[in-house]
Amino acid sequence: MKPALAMCCFSALLICAAVRAAGALANGVDPNNLGQGDWIWEMPSCETALGVSTAQAVIDYEAGRGMQWVTVKAGDGTSEWSQWNSTVIKEAHAKGLKIFAWVYVYGNYTNTTSGIYSSEAAELNVAKWALSVGGDGLIIDAESEYEGQGAAASTYASGIKAAYPTLFLAYAPFPYISYHSTFPYVQFGRNCDAVMPQAYWADLGITVTNMVHDMDGEWIAWQNSLTGLNTNAIKPIVPIGQGWNFTGYTETAAEITNFVWMLANDPSPADIGGYHGVSYWSCQHHSAADWTGMAKSLILAGTNSVTVPQGSNVTFAVNLPVGGNFQYQWKFNQNNVAGATNSNYTVANVQPFNAGGYAVRASNTNGCAMNYSAVLSVVSPLVNTPNSVVAPANMVNWWAADGNGSDIFGVATATPQNGIYYTNGAVGAAIHLDGATGFLTTKASRLAPPWTVCLWVNREDAPGTSAALFSDSSTNVLKLEQYNNTREVGVTVQGVADYIFSGGYSVPQNTWTHLAFVANGSQIQLYANGASQGTLAVSFPLPRAYIGLDSFGEPDAIGSKTYRLFRDYLKGSLDEIQVFNRALSASEISAIYNAGGAGLVRAPEFTGIAAASGGQIQLNLRGLTGKNFTLYASTNLVNWASMGTVANPTGTVQYLDSAASPQIFYRVSQP
């Protein structure tokens, strides 16, 4: 049998200005990692501005300057534009570019002075026509005319998505939501795959710095205001930057590079994974300085997660525009891989030690550079180490971090995001977070008290003012390092206080320490290496959605707006993260700690077999506490018959087989 082949393709992400790409939509378009793009308004004007004579030459120019995608105007209101056609689509695809149609829309709008008579229904027909021509998706340019048209926005965007559900759909609104309170951000957002705020700093009369800060504040405040199904309107953010000389203002290359640098290094981005895509308005308006700035910019691609069984072959690849003359260097866990200098890199017969962070840097002599990254997780058979001990009852999650983010007890897989890799742990392998971008998402809901969290931590000093262990969008956070550089373990209740435990405990650096948090409904008690370190007279449901990241909004004075999203990234390694839906006793916590590197029993096994009275066979088993055993029997090791399930409330079981034959074999499994 050939090993399974997993392919992680980082779609045409170049980076002379921005990045994001690869995913679940058609043609490999990933809204979370879209890449650098450019806007084409009037193709003849672009030809004139670039000194070329064909649309093909315009596409060639864009590809040669590091674009991963372009968007070409296909309609205005109820009119279709012939410059959007199958020929220009084929030309873009031949150069390795994604290509999107874009349309300016008015909704149900009439302006007799300008002669605009438009309707949502007629504009929907234009959008459907544009996508029927081909291409990789469509971008909706909706501005002031769409103020107060929530119903039309919902009908229009949902109509497009219903007709072409697998094609990319985005909308490009105003960046200041608070100034456009009647604009249908929610209605567009719920039906689109990404949002592209028009972040034109000079046009708005502000600096690049304030533009990024203000955009963060506006979109974070809006995201935090959403509830229920409206939270589905929160989508990846791909800003549109200023790419033309405004009246009384001359664009500089440094402004472009500064804009991209700030997006790439934003400590509090409104896009939870960071900004990994950008574009510019517009091709026919770009000055020489604009093109220079775009070619010199650098922004990191988002992280893709790849999970494969042990023994698989995995190929990582990048697909960049043809003719870019790129040189490649692949890295594993931030170190160069010798000889890995092609556009793809294959890891054959993957083993647990191959799990970790893979990245590639592509660059050319024109100053265009980009980075892609992925986290490879490897799923191996579960085995017990000698001297492992059975787990206490009432476990609900167990992230063992043994080369993957699997929840080996529950169903909440922890997906690695950005700056993580696997390393040596307290028990087998562990996951390392970089303190700047790395975290895990589990999508697990809050767990009402009583609850217990146990885990091993190898702390490094986080670069921020605090470091989170567990959080979600609620107001409660478990902190490895409490706010304001105290570095003491604590909890935060947003808008109330940052607490530390009564013992004032700080986890030592660069050594493995076992922590346990026990909430009994009236207080939370902290244990370190099996010993109590103090209590807190607070109680709340355990947040489980994020591990290693704090994610909520709070008033602040950044830029010219007053909201900011705190991140509090954890730096260090985590191992054997276990959650229980009851308050464990001090002796149970001590037993977990004292197991040390042997850890807890994670796989079913026979610990003994003996003849009993009356010809019966006694089987001694142990396994995951709370998971039923399923027993099988065979007389020839070929044909197996189920003997049924056996309850396992304590982790160990004695079972009598009263129907044993003179020669019989047994095997056991657990879910």
Rounded to 10 deg, the angle between the 288-296 and 253-264 helix axes is 30
pLDDT at 333: 85
Residue 8 pLDDT level (bands cut at 50, 70, 90): very low
Task: Label residues 442-470 b or e (16+ Cβ within 10 Å = b).
Answer: bebebbebbbbbbbbbbbbebebebbbbb
Indicate if the alpha-carbon torsion angle 456, 265, 280, 366 is positive or negative. Answer: negative
State the Cα–Cα distance between residues 231 and 614, nearest whole angstrom: 64
Which of 21-30, 256-265, 467-476 is predicted with the least confidence, judged by mean pLDDT?
A: 21-30
- Three-state helix/strand/coil letters over 13-61: CCCCCCCCCCCCCHHHCCHHHCEEEEEECCHHHHHHHHCCCCHHHHHHH
CATH number for the segment(s) 36-306: 3.20.20.80
How do residues 599-645 score in pLDDT, each as one tens digit?
A: 999 999 999 998 888 778 899 999 999 999 999 999 899 999 999 99
Q: How far apart are CA 54 and CA 51, in angstroms?
A: 10
Global pTM value: 0.66
Give Rg (Cα) of the chain: 28
Tell me the C-alpha distance between 216 and 214, whole Å.
5
Give whole-number Cα distances, 344 to 30, 339, 372, in Å.
Answer: 19, 12, 12
Pair 418, 372: CB distance under 8 Å: no
Q: Is the pLDDT of residue 556 over 80?
A: no
Same fold, 36-306 and 395-598: no
For the beta carbon of residue 244, count every other beta carbon within 10 angstroms: 18
- The highest-level CATH class for domain 395-598 is mainly beta
pLDDT for 291-342, tens place per residue?
988 876 655 555 566 788 999 888 887 766 556 677 889 999 888 999 999 8
Q: What is the pLDDT of residues 118-143, one digit of tens each?
A: 999 999 999 999 999 999 999 999 99
**Percent over 90 (pLDDT), the chain:** 63
Continuous segment of H or E residues that includes residue 141: strand 137-142
Indicate the pLDDT class of residue 104, thresholds 50, 70 and 90: very high
List Cα–Cα distances, 497 to 482, 483, 490, 492, 503, in angstroms: 11, 10, 11, 6, 17
pLDDT level of residue 370 (50, 70, 90 thresholds) = low
Give the mean model confidence (pLDDT) for residues 511-517.
98
Are the C-beta atoms of residues 280 and 294 closer than 8 Å to each other? yes
Query: How far out from the chain centre does Cα 39 lie?
Result: 27
Partnered with residue 335 across adjacent β-strands are 332
- Domain spans of the chain, in order of start: 36-306, 395-598, 605-669
Beta-ladder partners of 227 = none
51-97 pLDDT, tens digit per residue, is: 999 999 999 999 888 788 999 999 999 999 999 999 999 999 988 88
Asked if 14 and 66 count as a contact pair (C-beta separation under 8 A), the reply is yes
Separation CA 600–CA 389 (nearest Å) = 5
Question: Rounded to whole angstroms, how far apart are CA atoms 112 and 114?
Answer: 6
E strand spans, 287-368: 300-309, 313-318, 327-332, 335-336, 344-347, 356-363
Question: For residue 267, is the peptide bond before it cis, meaning its omega torsion is within 30 degrees of 0?
Answer: no
* C-alpha to C-alpha distances, 636 to 28, 210, 667, nearest whole angstrom: 49, 75, 12
